[in-house]
Amino acid sequence: MRKYKVGYTTGVFDLFHIGHLNILRSAKEQSEYLIVGVTSDEEAISVKNRRPVIPFEERIEIVRSIKYVDEAVKENNTDKLVAWDHYKFNAIFKGDDWKGNDKWIEYEKGFLKRKVKVVYFPYTKTTTSTILSKYLYNLLN
């Protein structure tokens, strides 16, 4: 039996790589049903100040096709408490590079009130979207 009935994780999932897969696999191992929010192009531009390399429709199709994902949804608002209002998940999963971050400390307080567990997984440092983006930028320039 898995720890959580409904789990949730989210990301841009641009330049999909092993770190993304690690989070999805680990989240599914703990969730009976895993919902994955895929950040819209507009929200990614707003938050990261750059357009994803891979368009939203392709990114969500990739995520939707992964065997660990039960449902992939469009994330137009990166506020995780707004996502909870809609999906009522029991646990939210994030890479541990966010642990201790002011924003996530506030999320932890909000989720504690909602009886939602915040679970951090080890961040995959060898391959990241930032590393891949820099490599592509250098390759093209």
Give the domain ranges of the chain.
4-140
Query: Burial code of 53-81, b = ≥16 C-beta within 10 A, e = fewer?
Result: ebebeebbebbeebebbeebbebeebebe
Note the pTM of the prediction, 2 decimals: 0.89
Question: Could you give the CA distance from residue 48 to residue 67 in angstroms, rounded to a whole number?
Answer: 28
What's the pLDDT at 124?
Answer: 74
Mean pLDDT, to the nearest integer, of 20-28? 96
Question: Could you give the CA distance from residue 137 to residue 120 in angstroms, rounded to a whole number?
Answer: 30
Residue 133 has pLDDT above 70, yes or no: no
What's the pLDDT at 88?
Answer: 98
CATH number of the domain located at residue range(s) 4-140 in this protein: 3.40.50.620
Average predicted confidence (pLDDT) for the chain = 91
Which residues does residue 23 pair with via DSSP β-bridges, in sequence order? none
Residue 1 has pLDDT above 90, yes or no: no
- pLDDT tens per residue across span 53-73: 899 999 999 999 999 999 999
**Residue 15 banded pLDDT, cuts 50, 70, 90:** confident
What's the pLDDT at 26?
Answer: 96
